[in-house]
Amino acid sequence: MKIRFWLKTVVVAVCVLGLTMPAFAKKSAQKDNLVDVKTAWVTGQESFPVWLAKKQGWDKEKGMNIITTVYGSGNEALEDFSVNNWAIGGLGAIPTLRGAKDGNMLVIALANDESDANAVIVRPGSPILNKKGVASSYPNVYGSAVDIRRKSFIVTPLSSSHYTLIKYLEVLGVSPREVDVKFIDQALGLLSFEHAKADAAVFWAPYTFMASGKGYVTASTAYDVNARLPIFIVVNKAYAEQYPEITKNFLAIYMRGIHWLLNAPRADVVKEMQTYYKDVFGLDYSETMLDLNFNVFKLFNLAKQKELFAAGENGVSKVQAWQESIAQFVLNYGSVHKSLEKNIIGSKYVVPTFINMIEESDLK
């Protein structure tokens, strides 16, 4: 769950012909008579594929007009989702859980995996760096139970940073009660850490990048402790059930954008990404910053997405397993009413239906 500070409403176009629309997918007033599809995003690279679709004209090929609203956070997006103000969007794992608990949200694809963007940060010379790989299954993790106990950690409550800390402590065999957890938002948390208000802090990007730039050291990423943190493509369940072709065509365009990101020359990708961040969010990203983004935000091609959404021998997909772990964290540390637990336990809202509809030919 990243906190995003830049708000802007952007109109990007995409979609499908000849269907009767619900309130959040009406016929456009444009002369092309395109289908309007309202979508929601927060500041980050996950809305790049729909921006690229508009620029390249892929949208008109499908007869859609995607209306994209950029929110300050996943929680803000969820407030509008609850009143059917958007149908499809990109959300972090924890906001997705909050959306799914009411039984009206489906996960249909992965935008990316930000596990390497969430990290436990310490100062050079910290005793936490004394040992590495104490838990043999987690060779890249610095720290030990002796060096961690009674240390203070800055995290943002019930967020990806909080989840990362819990998994980090679990790997080292330390109870959260054995450390001092200071709940602070990310921007203030970085400032507090600079003023030595804690022994360690857990950040997500871009604060992880900022911390690294200030000379701080990564003791562990979320990925290192198997705390997978996907950004999902989600859809209103009723909308997807009533308009599966629109949902499928949107996802086809989105996956076409991911295909381009993974296969285009890096110089072309960086140039387009710089334009995207400038046009959509008013941000000037250097080539170095964009390279950092590509190093820590993992993208998945169509074949890999189908593999990750496929049920394993136990009937559970890898994506469901990732989300089930986060669900247990939310149930332990959040405030989900008991009557709603059934909607998130088992992660049945993570479905392969629409990603399996996409073919390689849709990506060209």
Q: Would you state the structure tokens that stand for residue 130, as one six-digit string?
A: 């004394």
What confidence score (pLDDT) does residue 10 get?
A: 36
> pLDDT band at residue 364, thresholds of 50, 70 and 90?
confident
Do 91 and 102 belong to one domain? yes
- Same domain? 298 vs 179: no
Q: Final residue of a domain: which of 225, 260, 279?
A: 225
pLDDT exceeds cutoff 80 at 9 = no
Parent domain of 12: 8-113+229-363
Cα–Cα distance measured from residue 124 to residue 119, given in angstroms and rounded to the nearest whole number: 15
| CATH number for the domain that contains residue 23 | 3.40.190.10
- Residue where a domain terminates, one of 225, 250, 267: 225
Distance, in Å, from the CA atom of 243 to the CA atom of 264, rounded to the nearest integer, reads 32
Residue 59's pLDDT is 83
Q: Do residues 220 and 121 lie in contact, with contact meaning Cβ atoms separated by under 8 Å?
A: no
Q: How many domains, in total, are found in the chain?
A: 2
Same domain for 126 and 95: no
pLDDT at 73: 84
Q: Is there a domain that residue 61 lies in?
A: yes
Please, what sign has the CA dihedral across residues 335, 337, 340, 346?
positive
Q: Identify the domain boundary among 190, 225, 260.
A: 225
Please report whether residue 1 resides in a domain: no
CA angle 254, 317, 14 (to 5 degrees): 10
Q: How confident is the model at residue 196 (pLDDT cuts 50, 70, 90)?
A: very high
> Which pair of structure tokens corresponds to residue 224?
């290192």
**Residue 155 shares a structural domain with residue 192:** yes
Quick one: average pLDDT of 109-130?
A: 97
Query: Using 50, 70 and 90 to split pLDDT, how confident is the model at 26?
Result: low
Residue 3 lies in a domain: no
Strand (E) or helix (H) holding 202: strand 200-203
Domain check: are 252 and 207 in the same one? no
Q: What is the mean pLDDT of the segment spanning 9-26?
A: 40
On whether both 92 and 233 belong to a single domain, the answer is yes
Which of these ranges, 24-38, 167-181, 226-240, has the smallest mean pLDDT?
24-38
> Are 331 and 283 found together in one domain?
yes
Is 2 within the bounds of a domain? no
37 within domain boundaries: yes
Residue 19 has what pLDDT?
34
Q: Name the DSSP letter for residue 222.
A: T
pLDDT of 104: 93
Q: Considering the domain boundaries, does residue 256 fall inside one?
A: yes
My answer on whether 248 and 109 are in the same domain is yes
Whether 343 and 238 share a structural domain: yes
Rounded Cα distance, 40 and 73, in Å: 10
Domain-located, residue 215: yes
Are residues 130 and 43 located together in one domain of the fold? Answer: no
- In a shared domain, residues 236 and 109: yes
Q: Are residues 347 and 248 in the same domain?
A: yes
Q: In what order do the strands lie in the sheet with 119-122?
A: 180-183, 152-155, 200-203, 119-122, 217-221
Of the ranges 171-180, 275-284, 328-337, the best mean pLDDT one: 171-180
Q: Which one is predicted more confidently, 321 or 343? A: 321
> Could you tell me the pTM of the whole model?
0.87
